[in-house]
Structure 1
């Protein structure tokens, strides 16, 4: 499998997207559970299937572009829109909390930001969960610690490293629409339905005063590359945790509505949280 990934990593991004789009539709057709969740999640957000049908192909594109993003000798072409808000935050030495939902090529967004700013402001710190398969764990360890990106494990030690990075004025990246383990989130509205939502993003921002930058990395058509959109959260977070978590969810909703055809509607956003022995609820003590 590792050899297959290395083969994919040298193929043109346009070809990977073409094959991936086809496989996305194959998966959609063969999996009733995935198809039902995709349609139900989109409907919950107020979209008909016709409005988001392109997201079926984009889910496949995401899978097939990963080897290119992780193992490619260079990153695909990506332009950045809204750099002023990032430059301003770094200039104020506030530290930056990059937040992006499961939209577009979220794996590329941190790589591009690191390529642009890490030499001057330090590595961007991201959380990762080690893969169970040895070959995939090897790939992820290489991919997520390259080019100014520092990956830390989903443990208390990893959270401490994120806090340290923000307090010294560096950047941290999170996917706040990812369902956290039991005890590390609260139930908060997401497109009008309660979803178990991480408190980590809100706690990091409230405890460190970091600037919150919302990002989405959209794929351009015909393999022409990507466009990374970044903007600072319009208003400061509320001081109470529950309200701050809800405001972050609302910010993710706005971002998704700007490009619903590239969101992973098949993701189990409303699932019950799992129990994770590596991160107990006491992680919140570190963030206080």
Structure 2
């Protein structure tokens, strides 16, 4: 059933795809959905300076973007990489991938993060870290859509980390989405929007070990289904002190700065602070 729905979304022009996604977002907003409750809690925590009306407006805009993210999944996964690339209206910063040092793509859950690796892999090999799904059937389907051509996936475990390290040694690109709770192992509490959040340490560790260049990469979702703007921007995640907490805090700060540019396009329906608060 899920595959059928995603296939339907894949054949729709992006404008109509996002129109339906917006409708899903409105439904999530006007009902007492789980997504609305989580988004509301996160917005309340991270944007306390907004008054009640402003927070409600941001919650609604966020859920609309959440709906678009759901509908566009079919559009991205069930179309070819070359077809995906046609939706990129402009790319800024490709020159930053040229480096004598290994390059790590820091890809926050912002905009259409799924399209980033697919498009970049058309010109260079990329290995992306991901967390496997519990359902083996869904996992097999997802891998078949994600792992194609020069894009390969590495599981978020010891085996996957070895795969990432090998890719860096060959100076292939690796991509990591470091802004989700990594669980008890592999994480450290670091500030994010002035609240502690369990944050992945792997990216910072790999960057320091390999003297790697870190390039923040995101695809901003344009209005009215006009496509995406792909951005690549070098950032510093390595502190002068060499302290891991300071490294991870720098990483979170960079992500926070990006999120503030268009906060509604961030994944606020994820329980980002679940290690320290109750949702």
Match status 1:246 vs 2:249: yes
Q: Secondary structure at the match of 1:266?
A: coil
Match status 1:77 vs 2:78: no
Match of 1:9 in 2: 10
Q: Secondary structure at the match of 1:59?
A: helix
TM-score scaled by structure 2?
Answer: 0.88
Match of 1:22 in 2: 23
Q: Secondary structure at the match of 2:148?
A: coil
Written as runs of structure 1 = structure 2, the 5 A alignment for 1:10-159 is: 10-46=11-47, 47=50, 48-49=54-55, 50-51=57-58, 53-73=60-80, 74-75=83-84, 76-78=86-88, 79-87=90-98, 89=99, 92=100, 94-115=101-122, 117-118=123-124, 123-159=125-161
Q: How many matched pairs? A: 264
CA contact (8 A) 1:220 1:227 kept: yes
Change (3 A) 1:10 1:22: same
Q: Secondary structure at the match of 2:22?
A: helix
Q: CA deviation at 1:35?
A: 2.1
CA distance in 2, matches of 1:4, 1:262: 23
CA distance in 2, matches of 1:149, 1:52: 34
CA distance in 2, matches of 1:12, 1:147: 24
Out of 256, 261, 265, which is 2:259 matched to?
256
Q: CA deviation at 1:51?
A: 4.3
Written as runs of structure 1 = structure 2, the 5 A alignment for 1:216-227 is: 216-227=218-229
Match status 1:184 vs 2:186: yes
CA contact (8 A) 1:111 1:147 kept: no
CA distance in 2, matches of 1:209, 1:237: 13
Q: Deviations over 1:94-139 (max 9, x none)?
A: 1111112211000011112212x31xxxx21112223233442232
CA distance in 2, matches of 1:53, 1:84: 36
TM-score scaled by structure 1?
Answer: 0.85
CA contact (8 A) 1:100 1:252 kept: no
CA distance in 2, matches of 1:221, 1:34: 22
Q: Secondary structure at the match of 1:258?
A: coil
CA contact (8 A) 1:216 1:255 kept: no
Match of 2:231 in 1: 229
- Runs of 4+ deviating beyond 6 Å: none
CA distance in 1, matches of 2:26, 2:233: 32
CA distance in 1, matches of 2:150, 2:228: 20
Q: Deviations over 1:159-215 (max 9, x none)?
A: 001011112211111111111021210111100000000111111111111110012
Match of 2:213 in 1: 211
Q: CA deviation at 1:30?
A: 2.6
- Structure 1, unaligned stretches of length 5 or more? 274-288
CA distance in 2, matches of 1:107, 1:18: 19
